[in-house]
Amino acid sequence: MQQFDEHTTLITSEAPMAPETHGGRAKCLQRLVRLDLPVPEAVALSFKAVHGIAAGEMPDMDRILSPFGDAPLLCVRPSSEDPDWGGPGAVLNIGMNDDRYKELSEQMGEEAAATLYLRFVQSFAINVARLDPDMLDDVSDDPIEGLQEALDAYEEEAEEPFPQDPAVQLKAVLRSMARAWEGTTARLLRQAKGAPADAGLGLVVQDMIFGLGRGECGSGVMQLVNSETGVAKITGRYLSQSQGRDALTPGAESLYLEIDRRGPSLEELAPEAFSDLKAHTALMRHKLREEMQAEFTIHNGKVYLLDGVRVARTARAAVAIAVALAEDKIIPREEALMRVEPRALNELLHRQVDPEAPRDVLARGIAASPGAASGKIVFTANEAQAAESRGEPSILVRRETSPEDIRGMHAAAAILTERGGMTSHAAVIGRGIGLPCVVGASEVRFNTKKRHLTFPDGTVLRSGDVITVDGTNGEVLAGEAKMLETARDAALMTLMIWADEVRDIDVRANADTPADAKVARGFKAQGIGLCRTEHMFFEPERLTAMREMIFADSSEDRAAALEVILPMQRADFADLFRIMEGQPVCIRLFDPPLHEFLPTDRSGHRALAEALDLPLSDVTRRVEALGEYNPMLGMRGVRLGVTVPEIYEMQARAIFEATIEASRDGEPVVPEIMIPLVSARREVELVRARVEAIAAAVRSETGEDFTYRLGVMVETPRAALRADDIASQVSFLSFGTNDLTQMTYGLSRDDAGRFMSDYVRQGVYPEDPFHLLDTDGVGELLRLGAERGRRVKPEVTLSICGEHGGNPESIAFCREVGFDYVSCSPFRVPVARLAAAQLAI
């Protein structure tokens, strides 16, 4: 036998082979060989060898062919580092020629031999010789006749006879596969799936097990779990007298594997082969420590394994598989935790259209990213961002998306595109960020200039009309569909419990309403880290009360308004305390940027005048008087508390009275009261003195005692710089990184969307700092604030409650700085819990 080297290697248990040099398939085959599983003989060509082939350096064919004996029949399959990166299709039956055809006709029957040869001629003509596929259109379905026609067509089109020498055939196959990998389209496709620009391709030349012939012959795939749910269930297909993945081609009359009510099965047809196959797949799972799909061929009743690949899986299945492997003691729990990408949990956590509800389907496309959302149609990323800043869910509709749309995709509730497939930009990004996405809805006419969509039934919808995108089923529905909340199954719960056992930073939720708090509690948030009390007044019937309070310009008017609000607040707080069952609840005193609460147009003024029973001119005048050039830096937060103290006094009273009420029938409540937008110690002293006075008053009025904790939200650069001075006054500091980012950059939260994509594209910012914490700049202030605060008060509780709190990278930063907890929106709590666990492992 010829000598092998590290680039052309016979796959044995000892051969040096790694996924980074020979690709995943070669490495996997070696593992299967080591497990003594029936793997046909194979030679692996390294990335370097294949790169050389593409450049014209052909390895010695005799060397490659030497292990396969005389007149072998071979196949060549791709072996990229990560199977998800794809690669050229396998070429089967290399070595078929006229002599072999005669020989095999005698051994296995002429029809089977003709099928093998015909398949090779077809795939060689199209994929290797790159002849026009039309030339084979008229080839007869009968393999014997078809073979002769295909050989003739080949000769005519290629102007030479079909190559007969196996070495020549193999050389051509290797060259074409190597070159296909280096082509621009293939490179772009794999880069979209995360492959590096210089990703290599290995090739595996393997002895061909025919899958055709006498006795039970065929091919198929088997896995032991359902790819959608991860639940244990033998899944796969088998087709007698077939090769490769024929059993999976749509329309193939393939069999179920296990006995199945719905049709005949391999288990009935060839019980021994079935049971061997099951045992092989289970051994792979056990020894390779992963749920594997076996690609197999049966020849005359005997099973051969051609490959094992990691079972394709949804996020839900990934969780179930990781948990089951750990429960079966195949992998440790820590590894199970590391195997699930925290962001992928979004898929389990997103809402779905209620399958029982009526569905008014307008169009269908490709279900590219699961979950569903309703919203107003917008046609540009900027509009999506504007809608987000108004708190309105939007559906971003594009012909196709590009990196310029990413910010809009983050802002939208769902994406709909006309073009693209499962690996298109919109699909890949949508799945990555857990955003419902339907792509390739080509039956819809997209008129982005005139800003309307025409659906197949003639319905025309325009910008601002509401639709529902169901990314799970690939459908576009009219209007707002009834939704089912998230699918939280037992495996997710188990994984979360394991995460909680290892993580060393707490996770709370930002929850403003009892409904939010219930979701937070369901996700096992360790308390509420931020309750934005002004958000409790976004409902129309409450908005008037809030407006009345802001609007009052005499103390009597204000007192009257506050009297209406006090019981609402007390009831809200008592609800939150009860729902959180003794977990900490951090209530932020009002921080209403005035422009969010005052009407902006004439009809709004008129409505307010009516509600307040005031002349329209009074309302208009007062709105003008309250108007600010830069409301985000105006009469917000503690500034309102300092200048109009009755407002915070009312809130403190509502909190204390609710504390007494909720403690009476449940765990004792220790509320946390947080002062927003502080920039000076004196602000804290003033508010603190008033809160203390209210506490004393409530204690004496009720005869009941309670405790509370006072804290400051560090969200101005000055508060971070003066954290020592401020910490001396309070028990906790919570970093509000939304405002802190805005003020550190001098970048308006509401306006940055307009130019953010330009900034990121030109590399001014590596990422949108409102999404990914800027650890260099804003992070420096966090670090400094934490150090200074701790210097004067080592026991001060430190946390983050800006949007960054749910972001895995930002959680890593907070943990490193020594924060006690992160607080994020309720649906991100599981993501944060898992991300925090991974950091501790």
Widest CA span in the chain? 107
Q: Say whether 780 sits in a helix, a strand or coil.
A: helix
**Of 691 and 824, which has the nearer Cβ to ligand PEP?**
824
Distance between CA atoms of 576 and 406, rounded to whole angstroms? 36
Residue 661 binds which entry of ligand PEP, Mg ion, none, CB below 5-8 Å type-dependent: none
Annotation-wise, does 383 bind a ligand? no
| From 683, 715, 768, 774, residue interacting with Mg ion (rule: CB under 5 A) | 715
* Interface stretch with Mg ion, choices 581-589, 683-691, 733-741, 806-814 (CB under 5 A): 733-741
Minimum distance from residue 534 beta carbon to ligand PEP (Å):
8
**Of 492 and 712, which has the nearer Cβ to ligand PEP?**
712
Residue 425 annotated as catalytic: yes
Site for Mg ion contains 739 (CB under 5 A): yes
**Of 437 and 800, which has the nearer Cβ to Mg ion?**
800
Closest CA to 472 of 365, 354, 367: 367
Per DSSP, the residues of 157-201 read HHSSPPP--HHHHHHHHHHHHHHHHHSHHHHHHHHHTT--TT--E
Minimum distance from residue 596 beta carbon to Mg ion (Å):
12
3-state secondary structure 249-299: CCCCCCEECCCECCECEHHHHCHHHHHHHHHHHHHHHHHHCCCEEEEEEEE
User: What Cα–Cα distance (Å) separates residue 185 from each residue in 190, 192, 605, 675?
Assistant: 9, 11, 58, 55
Site string for ligand PEP, 763-782 (x = CB under 6 A): --------------------
Helix pair angle (616-626, 602-612), 10° resolution = 110
Distance between CA atoms of 611 and 564, rounded to whole angstroms? 14
**Of 704 and 750, which has the nearer Cβ to ligand PEP?**
750
**Of 715 and 774, which has the nearer Cβ to ligand PEP?**
715
CA 603 to chain centre: 42
**Of 295 and 739, which has the nearer Cβ to Mg ion?**
739
Catalytic residue among 75, 217, 801, 824: 801
Annotation-wise, does 665 bind a ligand? no
Residue nearest to Mg ion according to CB distances in the complex: 739
* Residues 578-637 close enough to bind ligand PEP by CB under 6 A: 591
* Interface stretch with ligand PEP, choices 204-212, 379-387, 404-412, 737-745 (CB under 6 A): 737-745
Site for ligand PEP contains 717 (CB under 6 A): no
* Interface stretch with ligand PEP, choices 242-250, 484-492, 653-661, 736-744 (CB under 6 A): 736-744
Residue 802 binds which entry of Mg ion, ligand PEP, none, CB below 5-8 Å type-dependent: ligand PEP
Site for ligand PEP contains 506 (CB under 6 A): no
% helix, strand, coil for the chain, step of 5: 50, 20, 35
Site for ligand PEP contains 739 (CB under 6 A): yes
User: What Cα–Cα distance (Å) separates residue 372 from each residue in 55, 348, 474, 705, 745?
Assistant: 48, 12, 10, 48, 35
**Of 574 and 801, which has the nearer Cβ to ligand PEP?**
801
Distance between CA atoms of 426 and 438, rounded to whole angstroms? 9
Q: Which residues contact 476 (CB under 8 A, 6 or more apart)?
A: 361, 362, 363, 364, 365, 416, 438, 441, 444, 455, 467, 468, 469, 470
Beta bridge partners of 218: 240, 298
* Interface stretch with ligand PEP, choices 28-36, 100-108, 484-492, 731-739 (CB under 6 A): 731-739
Minimum distance from residue 231 beta carbon to ligand PEP (Å):
40
Question: How many CB atoms are closer than 10 A to CB 575?
Answer: 17
**Of 256 and 597, which has the nearer Cβ to ligand PEP?**
597
Site for ligand PEP contains 828 (CB under 6 A): no
Beta bridge partners of 470: 372, 475
Residue 72 binds which entry of Mg ion, ligand PEP, none, CB below 5-8 Å type-dependent: none
Query: Binding-site residue total for Mg ion (CB under 5 A)?
Result: 3
**Of 687 and 801, which has the nearer Cβ to ligand PEP?**
801
**Using CA of residue 752, residue 753, residue 759, residue 760, what is the dihedral sign?**
positive
Site for ligand PEP contains 737 (CB under 6 A): yes
Minimum distance from residue 567 beta carbon to ligand PEP (Å):
24
Encode burial over 165-183: b for 16+ CB neighbours within 10 A, e otherwise.
Answer: ebeebbbbbbbbbbbbbee
Minimum distance from residue 84 beta carbon to ligand PEP (Å):
37
| From 508, 532, 793, 828, residue interacting with ligand PEP (rule: CB under 6 A) | 532
Query: Binding-site residue total for ligand PEP (CB under 6 A)?
Result: 10
Minimum distance from residue 719 beta carbon to ligand PEP (Å):
11
Minimum distance from residue 513 beta carbon to ligand PEP (Å):
14
* Interface stretch with ligand PEP, choices 131-139, 222-230, 442-450, 730-738 (CB under 6 A): 730-738
Catalytic residue among 350, 425, 605, 804: 425
Annotation-wise, does 399 bind a ligand? no
* Interface stretch with Mg ion, choices 372-380, 438-446, 681-689, 739-747 (CB under 5 A): 739-747
Minimum distance from residue 679 beta carbon to Mg ion (Å):
12
Beta bridge partners of 727: none
Annotation-wise, does 739 bind a ligand? yes
Q: Say whether 472 sits in a helix, a strand or coil.
A: coil
| C-beta of residue 483 within 8 angstroms of C-beta of residue 353 | yes
Site for ligand PEP contains 715 (CB under 6 A): yes
Are β-strands 372-378 and 394-398 bridged in parallel, bridged antiparallel, or unpaired? Answer: parallel
CA dihedral 575, 581, 583, 589 (to 10 degrees): 10
Minimum distance from residue 677 beta carbon to Mg ion (Å):
6
Closest CA to 280 of 319, 236, 321, 244: 236
Site for Mg ion contains 803 (CB under 5 A): no
Distance between CA atoms of 158 and 129, rounded to whole angstroms? 8
Distance between CA atoms of 532 and 538, rounded to whole angstroms? 11
Tokens representing 586 are: 């951090």
| From 802, 806, 826, 830, residue interacting with ligand PEP (rule: CB under 6 A) | 802
Q: Say whether 83 sits in a helix, a strand or coil.
A: helix
Q: Say whether 719 sits in a helix, a strand or coil.
A: helix
Tokens representing 791 are: 């210097």
Residue 532 binds which entry of ligand PEP, Mg ion, none, CB below 5-8 Å type-dependent: ligand PEP
* Interface stretch with ligand PEP, choices 347-355, 485-493, 560-568, 733-741 (CB under 6 A): 733-741
Minimum distance from residue 739 beta carbon to Mg ion (Å):
4
Distance between CA atoms of 375 and 415, rounded to whole angstroms? 10
Site for ligand PEP contains 736 (CB under 6 A): yes
Site for ligand PEP contains 738 (CB under 6 A): yes
Annotation-wise, does 736 bind a ligand? yes
| C-beta of residue 479 within 8 angstroms of C-beta of residue 466 | yes
Annotation-wise, does 127 bind a ligand? no
Site for Mg ion contains 631 (CB under 5 A): no
Residue 530 binds which entry of ligand PEP, Mg ion, none, CB below 5-8 Å type-dependent: ligand PEP
Annotation-wise, does 805 bind a ligand? no
CA 786 to chain centre: 32
**Of 95 and 736, which has the nearer Cβ to ligand PEP?**
736
- Residues making contact with Mg ion (CB under 5 A): 715, 736, 739
- Residues making contact with ligand PEP (CB under 6 A): 530, 532, 591, 715, 736-739, 801-802
> Which residues does the annotation place in the binding site for substrate?
532, 588, 715, 736-739
> Which residues does the annotation place in the binding site?
532, 588, 715, 736-739
Active site residues: 425, 801
> Which residues does the annotation place in the binding site for Mg(2+)?
715, 739
